[in-house]
């Protein structure tokens, strides 16, 4: 790929950004523009494809190619675009409702196929655009307009869903930490294959503070742990605490005794890290849960076409139509 140098400004469109003031989407937009300027892909080769939701307005604000699809179908549309032209860098922007309820089927299948897409799922645990109904990631008991007495639904754990669907790159980041968004998206961009990135996002209007227990600058050190390849599993204000996995359980140890994180392992450690979400006494994990190398769907499709074209020669329509059992009428 040619070394293209862009600035974040090159990735802004001329359209006015219209999220509510204070919405977490702004920080994600800015970080994404910064990242895309750095990945060495020319602007015309980037396509951002979204579904429907506040988050899905994203393509209109980007200076590259963009497609605002229909609710839940962005991954399917993007699969077509990427397969048709593997040369493009295709990004999907979606919400927790868009990706995990109406679009759940397409999401899991895109992940199992390992289509080379980068999926950014903005998780605000609510339906923002439709003004505040519970979503498939809302915690049980959440009071919303459609759950005035508390939601009785049990939520998905998006990371577990992605891991279980076979996604080859699974990561999580948070709107309050632009630096972390950037490093995570850069790693996603560098990954060949599907990258699923859950982004904790604050909806100031309909679910304000949903993540604040973990996401504020003050909380992050104690309440989250950053999974980085080759780095020890440490956290705490001075990185003084560590995590060790033994016998399928996670224990808190001194930083020096912490395990070193390896997202490339075939061992089911990523699932254990996702399961930290259910533990009050342990930090929630951010960073890179899994990073596996596997053949991509779009690559395999192209390979078959190329292989058979080389083997059989470029298709000749006349030969295809005029079969040997044809006969003449004069």
Partner 1 sequence: MIRFAGDSGDGMQITGNQFTDTTAKVGNDLATFPDFPAEIRAPAGTRAGVSGFQIRFSSTDIYTAGDIPDVLVAMNAAALIVNYKDVAPGGIIIANTGNFTERDLQKAKLATNPLEDGTLDGYRVIAIDINARVTEALQGSPLTSKDVLRCKNFYVLGLMYWLYSRPIEPTLEWLAAKFAKKPELADANQTALRAGYNSGDIHEVFQGRYEVVPVENALPGTYRNIMGNHAVALGLVAGAELAGLKLFLGSYPITPATDILQHLSELKEFGVITCQMEDEIAGICTAIGASYAGMLGCTTTSGPGLALKTEAIGLAIMTELPLVIVDVQRAGPSTGLPTKVEQADLLQSLFGRNSDAPLPIVSCATPADAFDCAVEACRIAVQYMTPVILLSDNYIANGAEPWRLPDMDKLPRFPAVHVTDTAGYAPYSRDAKLARPWAVPGTPGLEHRIGGLEKEHITGNVSHNPENHQLMSEMRRDKVLGVRDTIPTPEVSGPEKADLLVVGWGSTFGAIRSGTERLRREQNVSVAHLHLRHLWPLAHGLDEIFARYKQILVPELNMGQLSRLLQGEYPDHRFLHYGKVKGKPFTAREIREKITAVLEAKS
Residue 36's binding partner out of ligand SF4, partner 1, Mg ion, none, with CB under 5 to 8 Å set by partner kind? none
> By C-beta, is 130 or 157 nearer to ligand SF4?
130
Select from 66, 95, 155, 263 the one that contacts Mg ion (CB under 5 A).
Answer: 95
Q: How many residues does the chain have?
A: 330
> By C-beta, is 71 or 192 nearer to partner 1?
71
Q: Distance between CA 52 and CA 69 in Å, rounded?
A: 7
What are the structure tokens assigned to 213, written together?
């227990």
CA proximity to 50, closest of 35, 62, 34, 37: 62
> By C-beta, is 124 or 224 nearer to ligand SF4?
124
Residue 104 interacting with ligand TPP (CB under 6 A): no
Chain centre to alpha carbon of residue 312: 39
> By C-beta, is 7 or 146 nearer to ligand SF4?
146
CA proximity to 243, closest of 212, 287, 199: 287
Sign of CA dihedral 11, 190, 160, 165: positive
What number of other Cβ atoms are within 10 A of residue 86's Cβ? 16
What are the structure tokens assigned to 37, written together?
């300027």
Residue 271 interacting with partner 1 (CB under 8 A): no
> By C-beta, is 95 or 263 nearer to ligand TPP?
95
User: Least Å distance between CB 24 and ligand SF4?
Assistant: 7
Count of residues in contact with partner 1, rule CB under 8 A? 61
Is residue 310 classed as helix, strand or coil in its secondary structure? helix
Residue 184 interacting with ligand TPP (CB under 6 A): no
Chain centre to alpha carbon of residue 69: 17
Interacting residue ranges for ligand SF4, rule: CB under 6 A: 19-20, 23, 25, 54, 124, 128, 203-206
Q: Where do contacts with Mg ion occur on this chain (CB under 5 A)?
A: 95-96, 124, 128
Binding site for ligand TPP (CB under 6 A): 52-55, 71, 95-98, 122, 124, 126-130, 135
């Amino acid at each position: 790929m040619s070394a293209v140098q862009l600035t974040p400004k090159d990735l802004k469109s001329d359209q006015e950004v219209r999220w509510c003031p204070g919405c977490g989407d702004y920080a994600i937009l800015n970080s994404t523009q910064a990242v895309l300027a750095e990945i060495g892909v020319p602007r015309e080769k980037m396509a951002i494809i979204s579904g429907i939701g506040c988050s899905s307005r994203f393509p209109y604000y980007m200076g590259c190619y963009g497609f605002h699809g229909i609710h839940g179908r962005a991954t399917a549309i993007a699969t077509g675009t990427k397969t048709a032209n593997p040369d493009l860098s295709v990004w999907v922007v979606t919400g927790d409702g868009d990706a995990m309820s109406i679009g759940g089927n397409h999401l899991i299948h895109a992940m199992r196929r390992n289509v080379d897409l980068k999926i950014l799922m903005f998780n605000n645990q609510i339906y923002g655009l439709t003004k505040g109904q519970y979503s498939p990631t809302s915690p049980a008991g959440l009071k919303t307009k459609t759950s005035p007495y508390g939601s009785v639904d049990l939520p998905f754990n998006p990371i577990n869903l992605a891991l279980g669907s076979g996604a080859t790159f699974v990561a999580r980041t948070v709107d309050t930490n632009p630096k972390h968004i950037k490093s995570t998206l850069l790693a996603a961009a560098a990954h060949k294959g599907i990258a699923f990135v859950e982004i904790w996002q604050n909806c100031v209007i309909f679910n304000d503070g949903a993540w604040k227990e973990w996401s504020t600058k003050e909380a992050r050190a104690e309440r989250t742990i950053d999974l980085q390849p080759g780095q020890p599993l440490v956290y705490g204000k001075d990185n003084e605490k560590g995590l060790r996995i033994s016998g399928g359980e996670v224990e808190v140890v001194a930083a020096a005794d912490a395990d070193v994180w390896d997202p490339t392992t075939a061992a089911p450690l990523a699932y254990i890290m996702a399961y930290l979400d259910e533990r009050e006494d342990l930090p929630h994990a951010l960073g890179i849960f899994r990073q596996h190398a596997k053949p991509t769907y779009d690559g395999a499709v192209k390979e078959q076409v190329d292989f058979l074209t080389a083997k059989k020669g470029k298709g000749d329509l006349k030969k295809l139509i005029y079969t040997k059992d044809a006969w003449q009428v004069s």
